[in-house]
Structures are given as structure tokens and as C-alpha cells.
A and B are shown apart, each in its own frame.
Chain A
Amino acid sequence: MPSEPVLSLHNVFKEYPTTPVVRALRGVSFAVNSGELVAVVGPSGSGKSTLLHIMGTLDRPTSGEVTVAGFQVSQLSDKDMSSLRAHHIGFVFQQFHLLSGFTALDNVADGLLYTGLPLRTRREMAEVALRRAGMGHRLDHVATKLSGGERQRVATARALIGNPSIVLADEPTGNLDSKTSDAIVELIEELNESGTTIVVITHNPEIAEHFPRSVGLRDGQIEYDTSWKDVA
């Protein structure tokens, strides 16, 4: 496996300034290498989504250092963080977040909307991505007419359309039944095998078991990381 870290967190803290202050992350450090497939597992409220937002540069840590695709997030402006997301990071969400009135193809094409590429190019790339996600037969279906599993496949295609450095998935199977969920997990594994670096966040240890590496999160701290054993 190539071992150049695509993503690294060093001693990351995140506090929400509510009363009382919520310390969602408390000294998280770990790295994801290119080509890895990592599950972040933890119970509800353990800080998984917070971690995903920080990894995805949607939010800044209160302290600590985050590096994505070679860029130190603390050095980046808000605009730069947007640029980083546009070109290097793909997201998959539990709620799919597809634009309801639009076709699968156009939803996926939106994955590169903010790279400045013209629609025609984006649609061509969207078709390729949809085929990779097993949705080649549903290109022109409107998002609202798709099943949950199909929607998540479309959302996944959108995340990987531009070959991002890393794909971050927050509970991608959270809204799916177990059978569909298995199919999505399988898709994620396939995509990883063809080279995409993926971090999947889940509260479901069964899903984590499928993956080559899993990181356990509890109360904002890393409880275990299966890669530690490798080192040991």
C-alpha cells in the first residue's frame, strides 16, 4: 500500500461554545493514507460527525492541526477551504442531499459544479461516475423517483466524480434497510479497490468489521485504531 498520508489530524480539539461548553473532540490524532478504506466507529454523540466536518474542512478545530491533500487547514482562508472541498474532497451524507427536481446525471454533475468546468464536461464525467456506482441504467431518472439505495448510489457517484483525494461518508447506510445497506458497503469496497481513499463514519460495528481498518471513537477520543496492531 502506498503510504503517503492524504489526511492527517494532530491533537485535534473541538469545543462548541454552548453553555455548558461541549467538548466534542479531545485530542484526536490519526492519519489516512492514500488508497485506504477506514471506518470511524462510535456511539451516538461520540463526535463522529464533528470529526467528519473537521476532516472535510467544513469546520475548523478549536486547536490542533489538520492537513488534507497536503494543505494545512490552519493556513487556509475560508475561500481556500471551499477550493479544497471543490477539488479534493468528496462527501456522502446519510440524507443523500440530492436536488429533488433534477436527474441522477445532473445531480452527479453538480459534484464538480464549483470547479468551473462546463456542464457538458461535467455530464460526461457524471455518466462515468454513475456507471462506476452501478447506476448506468438510471442516468435520466429524477432523484425523487429513485429508491433509497439508488439515491445513495447517486450521492456516492457525485462524491467520486472528480476523483477526489478522499471521500468522506457520514452514516451512508443510516437511512437504508440492511440489505440495501450491505449493497452500499459493497459498493464502497469496490470503489476503494479501484483506488479511491474513503473514510466511512458509522455507529454500526458490523459495518466497521468489513473494512480493513477501523478507528473507535468514544467521548471525543480515539479508543482504538486497528492499525495500531499492525504497528505493534
Chain B
Amino acid sequence: MAATLQPSSLHPRDLGRTATVGLRTRKLRTALSALGIMIGIAAMVGVLGLSESSKSELLAQLDRLGTNLLTVEAGTGIGIGTGELPEEAAGMIAQIGPVETTTVVSAVDDADVYRTDYIPEGQTGGISVQAVDLTLLDTLAGSVADGQWFDAATGAYPTTVLGSVAAERLGVTEVTGTEQVWLGNQWFTVIGILEEFELAPDLDRAAMVGLRAATDYLGDDGVPTRILVRVDPDQVDAVMGVMAATANPENPEEVEVARPTDALEAKEAADDALTALFLGLGAVALLVGGVGIANVMVISVLERRAEIGLRRALGATKRHIASQFLGEALLLSGIGGIGGVLAGVAVTTAYARIRGWSALVPPIAIGGGIAAALVIGVVAGLYPAIRAARMSPTEALRTAG
């Protein structure tokens, strides 16, 4: 009578189906335990997405602004006299080989600017008057919001271009051609309003006049307080090294040389630290979610003894039982993982839209998020699955009411 015994087997599709039994019959519990994983994954994907989007935004910004701009200023340290650079500094700097352009800015300290001539002296609203080269706008990669920038003619006449903050504080909202401000005790016509300078935020608070006009109408000496220098992008460091000595050979220590884009990069680096912190928090949330799943699975195995006993009676092997519960844990965490990735992408997209960036979620964050969820699912599901498989069929059937 020794016939061959056909082995028990589970159709692959039924393996998936059995894994959903618990989820379908306990929907709220399923949703809540998947939510734990979802929050963790969403946090991580969102943080990675935001940091990536802001990085790519920075790269685009640096690309637009150029990282080859250097500013040369007279130091404001102790014991320094004039706060000015030598008159011939710009000319000297222009002699350095890799220097492409130099742009002079000269603060007109004696002149203030007011909306009208009725405003009491001294209430400047923090707006300075700066005499500038006509090349300033290009050098700083700035742009005009309204009106226009100086040309050779307007730069020699009593006209002014206002930085964005200055325009706001002076109450000049648009350029009509007839708008005037009381600058250095005379009327200057506003010919332009600028957008914000990304590389020289202090000039946003300036009323700018041409160097010629400053000399002719305001009695400025034209001595540079700041020189903006564009250099060969490959030689930036080399030029920085010799800049101080070139600008002021006698007192190089009084000269401050800086690269404004460094500040932008430093800000990004600070964001990196924050990103790491939030990633850590996301990982903790994920861990807690995993513990939640393990907990729910252990309870589920105990509650479902009768079902386990029945399945064993129907011919399920230990392996079939283990894979059912492991599959269930994987489904839970998988649902959480996919939900988390979607939520993370949504958060990134929404935030990027608000900031006017293009949203960028690194594929590794998406793949990694789902993979992390699945790994958590396996780890959380393994113990309950083994427990379910080890349960003796008779015990499972006997204890079940």
C-alpha cells in the first residue's frame, strides 16, 4: 500500500492571499500599525528630499551667480584709520593676471537720503548712499525690478537706483520717471529699483548713484570702500592669496578679502547638520513603528490560535504558517513604506513649490525608504512568525474557544 504522498503546497497567489487575511479582518489595527512605519519613512524621505532640493537649488544659484566673485574691503578692525582702501587699489588689482573685472563701490558718508526735504536730518531709515561703477549690476549678477540701471549719461547726472529694501523704506513702489528723493540736500530722480542682491545683501539698503554724479554733485572723493572683483574661476584661491597685498601693499592686514558665495555654502552646510538630526529622528520613528508591528503581530498570533490550528489541520506545514505571518508583517510594513514614500514626496513637493524650487527626491531615498520598511517588516515579523509555526496544532485547536 506504499503509495507516494503528494506534498502539501500552497499556490503562490494563495500565499499572498493568506497574508492578507489578518489585515482584512482587522482594518483599524492594520492602519494604525502601518501608520507608525509610514511616519518614519515619510520623515526620512521628506528630509532627504528637502535637503536634496535645497542643494540643487544652491547649485543652480551658485551657477547663476558664479563662485568667482571676490570682495575687497578696508578692514574695520581696531586701530585702523580711514576705513578706506588706497585710491589706486582698483588699478593695482586689475593688474593681477586672472582678474577679469573690477568694480568700485564708494560709500558717500556725508550724504543721506530722504523721501522729502521735510524729514528731519538723521532719520535715514538705515539707508546709505553708495557711489558705484556702472558695471556693478553685471558684476553682482543683479537684476532690475523696475525702471533701469545707470548708463554713461544717467551715471553722471543726479539720478539714483534704489536697492529693494531702500525703495520700500523710501516708499518708492514704482519708477515713473518723475519720482524724486532728497539725497545729499538735493533732488535726485529715481530711474530704477533693483531686485534683491543675493551676493551683497547690504546694497539692498542703499541708494546708488554713479561715481561721476557722486563726485560732481555730492563732493565724494571717489576713494573705494569696497572693490568687487571677478576672477578666472580656476584661479580664485590663487588670487585671494595675493589680493590683500596688492590692494594695500603697505598695510595688507587692513584689507579684508571674502568670497560672498562662501556664505551661501556655509548656510547649506549648517542645513546638513539639521538634515542629519531629522534623519535620526526619522530612524527612531521607524524603529518605534517596527516595535509596534512586532507587538501587533505577537498579539495577533495569540488571538489567532484557532486559525493556526485549523490551517495545520487543513494541511499547512510549519513553513506555510510562518510565511503567512511573515507575509502579513511585510505587508504591514510595505504599506507603511509606500505610504511613507508618497507622503515624503508630497511634503517635499509642497515645500519646494512654496519656496519656488524644483522638487527633487533622490531615487535612493525612495528605494531606500521602501527597502528599510521591508527590512523592518522582516525583523518585526520573524519572531511572531516562528512562534506561530512552532505552535503545536493540538494546542492551537484545544485552547481555542
Binding site for B on A (CB under 8 A): 49, 53, 56, 58-59, 69-71, 76, 78-80, 82-87, 91, 93, 95, 97, 99-101, 110-111, 113-119
Contact = CB atoms under 8 A, between A and B. Distances in A.
Given A70-B1, A82-B8, A119 B13 contact: yes
B317 A82 contact: yes
B2 A82 contact: no
B23 to A, nearest CB: 11
A118 B307 contact: no
Given A78-B318, A82-B318, A115-B6, 19 more contacts: A69-B3, A70-B2, A70-B3, A80-B5, A83-B7, A86-B6, A93-B397, A97-B309, A99-B21, A99-B25, A101-B21, A111-B314, A113-B18, A113-B314, A113-B316, A114-B10, A114-B316, A115-B9, A115-B315
Contacts of A84: 5, 315
B327 to A, nearest CB: 14
A158 to B, nearest CB: 8
B316 A116 contact: no
B392 interface: yes
A97 B5 contact: no
Nearest to B306: A97
B314 to A, nearest CB: 6
A101 B6 contact: no
B7 A95 contact: no
A58 to B, nearest CB: 4
A84 to B, nearest CB: 6
Contacts of B3: 69-71
A97 B310 contact: yes
B10 A53 contact: no
A85 B309 CA distance: 12
Contacts of A97: 306-307, 309-310, 397, 400
A86 B314 contact: yes
B313 A87 contact: no
A215 to B, nearest CB: 20
B392 A56 contact: no
A117 B314 CA distance: 13
12 contacts: A53-B393, A80-B5, A82-B8, A82-B320, A83-B6, A85-B313, A93-B313, A93-B397, A114-B316, A114-B317, A117-B11, A118-B11
A114 B1 contact: no
Nearest to A59: B394
B14 interface: yes
Interface string B281-314: 0000000000000000000000000110111111
A114 B8 contact: yes
**Residue picked from B5, B9, B394, most chain A C-beta under 10 Å:** B5
Contact of A82 (B17, B316, B394, B397): B316
Contacts of B309: 97
A105 to B, nearest CB: 14
B394 A53 contact: yes
B313 A58 contact: yes
B386 to A, nearest CB: 15
Contact of A87 (B2, B6, B18, B306): B6
